[in-house]
Structure 1
Amino acid sequence: MADWTPLRNALASVEDRVTYTWAELEEMIGGLPRSAYVYDAFWRGDRSRWRGFTAVDVKFHESVTFVRRVSGAAGIVVLVGCVKTKLDRSAPAQDLYTSPLFLKQRAYAESTGAPWFVLSAEHGLVRPETVLEPYERRLSAQPRDYRRAWGIRVVGQLTETIGPLDGKVVHLHAGSAYTDAIRDLLRSEGAEVEEPLRGLSLGKRLSWYRDGAPPAAPSSPASVDAPEVPELVERLCAPGSAVTPAEFQATGGAGLRTPGLYSWWVDRDGACELAAGLRHPVEPGLIYAGQAGATRPRSGRRSRNTLWGRIRSMHLGRRHEFSTFRRSLGSVLASAWDEPDIDEERLSAWMHRHLRLIAVPVDDADALGDLEAAVLAALDPPLNLSKMPRNPVRDRLTTLRRPHGRNSS
């Protein structure tokens, strides 16, 4: 087992920074652990190994540079990327952005005690308390010249705000469009750049903030980011993309035999019947969302489920015991129709007549569980119970479901 005490003792006499070769580190601690050879997250993680220092410029199998950390405004600054999901009114930048990812980024930035700023695609560098109007610009959608000029602008604004960047440690918590535009510019000004989330999918980013430590994931260029939550929400909320159950079945599963997210929509007449059963208003539109195929969180086992299998066999099947959504619909409609049991054939006919659905493939099964939670928080579908806060509609739905057996899906 590696002994990090010699490294800590050696660093104690270092005033600013020091670079050790891979061989020197191996000899000093008695052999580096396996994860140190393949995971960038290892060097961004447990800093108790090199207490008081940050590992930067990690060159696998070659060398690692350690820089002494300086607390507060004198040494560290945190930059947080903006997101698409915003309030529909003006607000301080720290409150304007409302996605689950931004909320976690903000909480992390505030917990460091260091000064932090928002990277706005529209305004450049923004203080958290600066009031902004909602805007639609996304940096990733801008041409290269805009992104280049934006990066120069941001680094200039940062220098004007906190002074010379030489010796500062800049933590970047943003998407690649933002970090790519400023990374080299920051380094050219003498700043050390830390990107603890670089190469991680969105789901693993959310886990990083939730767990307080980076997950073990390679920082390989082949690691592809999962779609951002705002993009998924936008796709799940595009009525023009919704298809009838019959149209879905007619695809034969083409492009749908994959993990992903889905949303269910109800028309006006169907909403009226649901409202009668729930005894609460139900608006026509999106009523339920979910996922198919996410890696099981406890066991880490891959699910064999797919969008095609979940929707065709479970939701549109003829047994409510195998579908949370089907059981909820059947329970509400049984109440509306004043029937003691769920009529499977009548329920199926009702679904074909009144519902539409949108299926969005997501390749990253490991991220899918966290993505679903973030999407549900943004959409707040009335018929979702799991991962959702209680309210009168969900309390009523829970009561209606009880007589109709335990769901097994």
Structure 2
Amino acid sequence: MRVGLIGCVKTKRATPGPAMDLYLSALFNGRRKAVEASCDSWFILSAKHGLLQPTEIIEPYDLALTSLSRTQQELWSQNVVQSLVASLGDLNGFIFEIHAGSEYRNFGVIDGLQRLGATVINPTVGLTFGEQLRFYRSSVVMLDMPTHLSPSRLGGSLHADVDRFYRSLAELSDAVGGARALSRCTGRMEWPVRGVYFIFEPDEMRADGVTQRVVRVGTHALGASSSTLWGRISQHRGVPGGSTPGGGNHRGSVFRRHVGSAILASGDWPSSIAATWGVGNNATQETKKMEYPLEVAVSQRIGEMSVICLPINDPPSRASLRGIVERGAIGLLSRATRESLDTPSLTWLGRSSDRESIRSSGLWNVNHTDDDYDNTFFDHLDELVNQTVQRH
């Protein structure tokens, strides 16, 4: 009998669910597809829980095996081997295929299995992070597609292009340590000086029901501006403290303005706020005070979202790579929504937007949503993601 063991990853869904669907990572997905294709059964190696059945329901957690002492890692390894015996019985003659980092293998798991008569195989031993991703992509690329996008059902290149886009984002996410919750973002974190950001909402999923759907793509300083990527993101996030804690300035963030307009349309808000929201580039203190409750609601909504940034440190220019990637991604994702490939959930707030471009594109974007995408933008995207992977 051949049994797969795959290591967990840092990036996880925000809500409880089956262990096999909790982890959001191109690396984890590659490992999972590999063992589903080659093994009779498989388990997940969790830093917190030890051995997990794929269907076991667990809460999200934040614990890395590397944060444990050597003694703790050895005890963890002993527990994993004991759990395998409890689940499978006599392991003599079993073949275990391990897809996990050295911390999951080298503190007693391999030795323990071999002492019990099992054979242990590690197909990616010695490979770098980037090499592992390429290994899984080349060996299970067709299996890695969601069932509804299997080759026999591909209606055209759009399906393959959207999958390619999300695979690139998954690689980027793995390289940078996962998406960051906007409510927890601070200027003390490490941010690229310039780049493109991709925003996700917790309950907005692709048609596969597993992958989070991008809901906004953006950049900054394409013209003569000295703004930084963090500066732009912090404008969207709002103000955590100061004299207006939890508020923000929607007149300095078109993203906030659109989210606020949708909140206005979907709730019972005073007409006085609706009359001034989004009007002008500035407002009196009296108006800002009146609008403050809605600014707080906007900050809370955006704070629930998460962001991944792609570093692209090129000079401000309409022809910059940042602009190419932003326009290409928006055009691709908008078309995917219009052709019903990845559509917003029925409860997506953007459905209440007063902007048709937001409602029809499934994105909190109004520019470039009617543009067609140029396939060549993938060449730039793939190269930029690869550069980020290599740096990490």
Question: Normalising by structure 2, what TM-score?
Answer: 0.48
* Higher gyration radius (CA): 1
Q: TM-score, normalised by structure 1?
A: 0.46
